[in-house]
């Protein structure tokens, strides 16, 4: 059940009055500067779902014996007064109050709609959940929320209090109050506008796509393996040091994913499961999933995605019956490339995130090649600034360099460089490769249509429209080479491209990723 509690006006007015009177007593001339009027404060909605952050402990010194999802969020926000009302004008939606693991995919659908509804009027949303499946909540919201406003997800590793109410008998060293306050600060500050959903816990900010729970009990449980956090919060200072690649699309509608849940009912979301591989795994789990009517299965394979021969046989049979597979690795980081008939390469998505993208892909298309493209683009979002080369001056003074001569040598390593993680892990005896087909027949990154683009055979970039014109898809940008353009062609292209610089680059960026340029680096944020 969702209940919305507006606590904005009275608290904000009260705080403003307090600040105004206090400031007037101390420094009459500074009142206007130090006491923001209520309407000047950013508005933040906290959408609460429960978890340890709302947990009631057996005692103030008890971190592990508690009942999650107990205190209502309005009471918890009140504990943060008056400080929180100096940061934002906060209201609360009590979406639910239970452990994170109990939520269904149908409830995820409703959560997205609750967040979107809140963002119609609020400047940002904080979602509180249990940490156990917080990374799944976060990635689901990242994939589905149709708003560029900040969405921050948070929770706690220690319960909030041990009393009857949230304001009594606070647990010693509880991390919930600080996590909630700093998440509201982050959402209010707009620093992550266009980042999609980010996770904030233990003063660290992580991208929803990349973050994972790395420890069962520690306060610093959330990690982004290989890449690291996006930033952190020290006191009232927010530091954001890197960004998901989708920020480059901020100025355009390319930013939005195709997964608009207004278009589908919760009942239309199909069942998608995960199979975990290990030494001499049996085929029964995949057979049982297939018999249960699932529409997709993610395999958490060994190394670069290998599965044992039993499940490999079961997968082939399941593909015959129309089930889609996504191949991922159980290692916790690194990419799986390749793919094959009925099998999509999961890139560097961890299995539980790949499952959500597969579930949404099956919901929004019947075309596996479309889904393959979504995994390579939305799922495998990566930075590629090659479109700027030759358009933006690399040195002070604004001079755009003259065309780089066509390389005389054979096309270099870019398109043929083995993908991260090397070849799918099919070398072990008794282990199936993703796709179960001959090596060399698959397409790096899952290019739609299953055909590899040869950079050398692409049309001259100057023939293309502005936006895709310079260093465009297939022009060799993935391998670092620039197209050789005639001076006249380059002049026309530059005039158009400079006029449309930001927007054109964003469109080009997305288009490059959509086409899955071979050799394109993958796996940096989203």
- Active-site positions read 52
Taking CB under 6 A as the criterion, the residue among 52, 85, 112, 386 binding ligand SIN is 52
Quote the CA–CA distance of 312 and 478 in Å, as a whole number: 33
Write phi, then psi, for 351 (nearest 5 degrees).
Answer: -55, -45
Residue nearest to ligand SIN (CB): 130
Q: Are 481 and 412 in contact (CB under 8 A)?
A: yes
* Cα R_g (the chain), whole angstroms: 25
Of residues 245, 127, 106, the one with CA closest to residue 184? 127
Q: Are 218 and 157 in contact (CB under 8 A)?
A: yes
Rule CB under 6 A: say whether 157 interacts with ligand SIN. Answer: yes
Stretch touching ligand SIN by CB under 6 A, among 34-42, 125-133, 464-472, 510-518: 125-133
Nearer to ligand SIN (CB atom), residue 130 or residue 244:
130
- If binding means CB under 6 A, how many residues of this protein chain bind ligand SIN? 11
User: How far does CA 77 lie from the centroid of its chain?
Assistant: 27
In Å, what is the CA distance from 58 to each residue of 52, 54, 99, 159, 163?
Answer: 13, 13, 17, 10, 9
Of residues 326, 379, 351, the one with CA closest to residue 514? 379
Rule CB under 6 A: say whether 130 interacts with ligand SIN. Answer: yes
Contact residues for 310 (Cβ-Cβ < 8 A; gap 6+): 280, 281, 282, 283
Site string for ligand SIN, 79-118 (x = CB under 6 A): --------------------xxx-----------------
Instruction: State the nearest-atom distance from the C-beta of 275 to ligand SIN, in Å.
Output: 23
Nearer to ligand SIN (CB atom), residue 60 or residue 67:
67
Residue 31 is inside which H or E element, if any? helix 31-34
Nearer to ligand SIN (CB atom), residue 100 or residue 431:
100
Rule CB under 6 A: say whether 159 interacts with ligand SIN. Answer: no
Contact residues for 117 (Cβ-Cβ < 8 A; gap 6+): none
Residues 426-465 touching ligand SIN, rule: CB under 6 A, are none
239: which strand partners?
Answer: 232
Instruction: State the nearest-atom distance from the C-beta of 55 to ligand SIN, in Å.
Output: 7
Instruction: State the nearest-atom distance from the C-beta of 162 to ligand SIN, in Å.
Output: 16
- State the DSSP string of 208-243: TTT-EE--SS-TT-EE-TTT--SEEEETTEEEE---
Instruction: State the nearest-atom distance from the C-beta of 447 to ligand SIN, in Å.
Output: 38
Quote the CA–CA distance of 275 and 295 in Å, as a whole number: 13
Instruction: State the nearest-atom distance from the C-beta of 339 to ligand SIN, in Å.
Output: 33
152: which strand partners?
Answer: 126, 198
Please count the helices (runs of H) and the strands (runs of E) in the chain: 14, 20
Residues 168-197 touching ligand SIN, rule: CB under 6 A, are none
Dihedral angle computed from the Cα positions of residues 30, 35, 37 and 39, in that order, rounded to the nearest 10 degrees: 130
Nearer to ligand SIN (CB atom), residue 49 or residue 386:
49
Rule CB under 6 A: say whether 155 interacts with ligand SIN. Answer: yes
Site string for ligand SIN, 290-319 (x = CB under 6 A): ------------------------------
Rule CB under 6 A: say whether 127 interacts with ligand SIN. Answer: no
Rule CB under 6 A: say whether 131 interacts with ligand SIN. Answer: yes
Q: Which residue matches tokens 């292209």? A: 493
Instruction: State the nearest-atom distance from the C-beta of 101 to ligand SIN, in Å.
Output: 6
Stretch touching ligand SIN by CB under 6 A, among 124-132, 182-190, 386-394, 457-465: 124-132
Q: Which residue matches tokens 């001959």? A: 438
Rule CB under 6 A: say whether 51 interacts with ligand SIN. Answer: yes
Site string for ligand SIN, 132-151 (x = CB under 6 A): x-------------------
Q: Which residues form the interface with ligand SIN (CB under 6 A)?
A: 51-52, 68, 99-101, 130-132, 155, 157
């Amino acid at each position: 059940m969702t209940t919305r509690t507006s606590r904005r006006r009275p608290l904000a007015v009260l705080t403003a009055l307090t600040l105004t009177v206090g400031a007037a007593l101390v420094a009459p001339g500074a009142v206007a500067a130090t006491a923001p009027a209520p309407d000047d404060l950013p508005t933040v909605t906290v959408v609460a779902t429960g978890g340890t952050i709302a947990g009631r402990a057996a005692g103030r010194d008890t971190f592990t014996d508690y009942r999650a999802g107990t205190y209502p969020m309005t009471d918890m926000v009140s504990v943060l007064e008056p400080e929180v009302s100096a940061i934002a004008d906060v209201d609360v939606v009590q979406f639910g109050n239970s452990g994170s693991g109990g939520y269904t995919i149908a409830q995820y659908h409703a959560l997205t709609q609750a967040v979107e509804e809140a963002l119609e009027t609020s400047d940002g949303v904080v979602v509180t959940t249990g940490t156990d499946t917080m990374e799944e909540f976060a990635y689901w919201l990242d994939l589905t929320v149709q708003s560029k406003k900040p969405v921050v997800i948070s929770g706690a590793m220690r319960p909030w209090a041990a009393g009857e109410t949230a304001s009594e008998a606070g647990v010693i060293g509880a991390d919930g109050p600080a996590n909630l306050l700093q998440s509201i600060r982050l959402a209010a500050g707009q620093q992550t506008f266009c980042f999609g959903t980010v996770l904030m816990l233990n003063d660290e900010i992580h991208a929803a796509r990349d973050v994972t729970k790395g420890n069962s009990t520690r306060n610093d449980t959330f990690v982004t393996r290989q890449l690291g956090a996006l930033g952190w919060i020290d006191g009232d200072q927010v530091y954001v040091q890197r960004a998901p690649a989708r920020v480059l699309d901020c100025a355009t509608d390319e930013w939005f994913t195709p997964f608009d849940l207004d278009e589908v009912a919760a009942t239309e979301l199909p069942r998608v499961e995960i199979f975990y591989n290990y030494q001499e795994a049996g085929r029964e789990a995949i057979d049982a999933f297939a018999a249960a009517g699932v529409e997709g299965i993610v395999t958490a394979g060994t190394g670069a995605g290998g599965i044992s021969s039993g499940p490999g046989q079961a997968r082939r049979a399941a593909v015959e019956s129309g089930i889609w597979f996504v191949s991922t690795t159980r290692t916790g980081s690194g990419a799986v490339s390749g793919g094959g008939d009925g099998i999509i390469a999961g890139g560097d998505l961890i299995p539980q995130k790949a499952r959500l993208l597969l579930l949404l892909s099956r919901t929004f298309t019947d075309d596996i090649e479309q889904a393959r493209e979504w995994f390579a683009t939305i799922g495998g979002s990566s930075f590629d600034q090659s479109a700027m080369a030759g358009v933006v001056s690399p040195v002070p003074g604004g001079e755009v360099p003259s065309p780089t001569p066509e390389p005389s040598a054979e096309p270099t390593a870019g398109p043929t460089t083995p993908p991260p993680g090397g070849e799918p892990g099919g070398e072990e005896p008794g282990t199936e490769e993703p796709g179960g087909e001959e090596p060399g027949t698959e397409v790096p990154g899952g290019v739609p249509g299953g055909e590899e683009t040869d950079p050398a055979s692409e049309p001259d970039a100057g023939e293309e429209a502005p936006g895709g014109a310079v260093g465009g898809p297939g022009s060799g940008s993935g391998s670092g080479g620039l197209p050789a353009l005639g001076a006249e062609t380059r002049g026309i292209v530059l005039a158009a491209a400079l006029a449309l610089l930001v927007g054109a680059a964003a469109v080009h960026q997305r288009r490059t990723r959509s086409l899955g340029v071979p050799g394109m680096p993958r796996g940096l944020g989203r």
